[in-house]
Amino acid sequence: MKMLINVPETVVADALRGIAAAHPELTVDVENRVVARRDAPVAGKVGLVSGGGSGHEPLHAGFVGPGMLSAACPGEVFTSPVPDQMVRAAAAVDSGAGVLFVVKNYTGDVLNFEMAAELAEDEGVQVAQVVVDDDVAVSDSTFTAGRRGTGATLFVEKIAGALADEGAPLDRVAAVARQVNGASRSFGVALGAVTTPAKGSPTFDLPTGELELGIGIHGEPGRERRPMMTSGEIADFAVNAILEDLRPTGPVLALVNGMGATPLLELYGFNAEVHRALSERGIPVARTLVGNYVTSLDMAGCSVTLCQVDEELLRLWDAPVRTAALRWGR
């Protein structure tokens, strides 16, 4: 496989050096694998820290900045960061108001963030945690006990980040983060397999003419494989899978997310079908975000995430944000 890399062993460090060169508003510690706001810690502000395996860019480093994360900890490709990274990140962004860890529900991430929380608290940092588990495709999967954490991570980081920027206390920021997670559901589809730099070949076999419904962001198995479907058929399947569980009674945020290799032309066409499917089911869409935000390297495919919102959550979603990957307002 052809990849724009030097060698697999340095791919994460090389990417971090590139982030540093492109974004002087960030502090990038390449050796210790921590990306933080250059102005951190911000006086009186709760710090938000997240992280996970690399390969899901722009998640998480691309979401560091005003209105969102205070810091991110990138692990090796599809591998959890280690507790030392998380402790360093927490110390770097703690202003005395405490730190919220946003954790995707993968076993390694959960265990390492729990250990990091204990270590950080031993050093005098107050820590709260929220575990994101929005994927309705399967209840247990590779690397996961319970539902996987996927696209709702973006909703949690954005809305909780906006509230933290307003100066809300740690318990309030954590409560809203859990509210967003509880109101969010996701479903993903793979049209092609993912290739990691270390392996250099597809990590699973997906024959020509087939797709996998309910795929995970590391290539974990989904619900079933079928012959290729149309965009409209995929949208109906994904929306039905989400609404079997979510059953919103009001407007939703919609994220139509690319897995890394699907062109925007296709994603926008798919978004039209998602909106059509929601409209036919009487679900109003308050805001929509389309693009590659929670990816899986070069996987072809997409995911849909819906989050039921009230006026307060929608206000926080609309609040200004300035990160490498998400920017609006001010």
* Active site (catalytic) residues: 56, 218
Answer whether 28's CB lies under 8 Å from 35's CB.
yes
- The residues with which 242 forms a beta bridge, in sequence order, are none
* Side-chain half-sphere exposure of 192, counting CA atoms within 13 A: 13
Tell me the Cα Rg of the chain: 19
Distance CA 87, CA 235 (A): 41
Fill in the DSSP letter of residue 10.
Answer: G
3-state secondary structure of 197: coil
Task: Classify the C-alpha dihedral 65-71-75-79 as positive or negative.
Answer: negative
Q: Token pair 């965009």 is at which residue?
A: 231
Element (H, E) at 26: strand 26-29
3-state secondary structure of 117: helix
Angle at which helix 264-280 crosses helix 231-243, to 10 degrees, equals: 50
3-state secondary structure of 1: coil
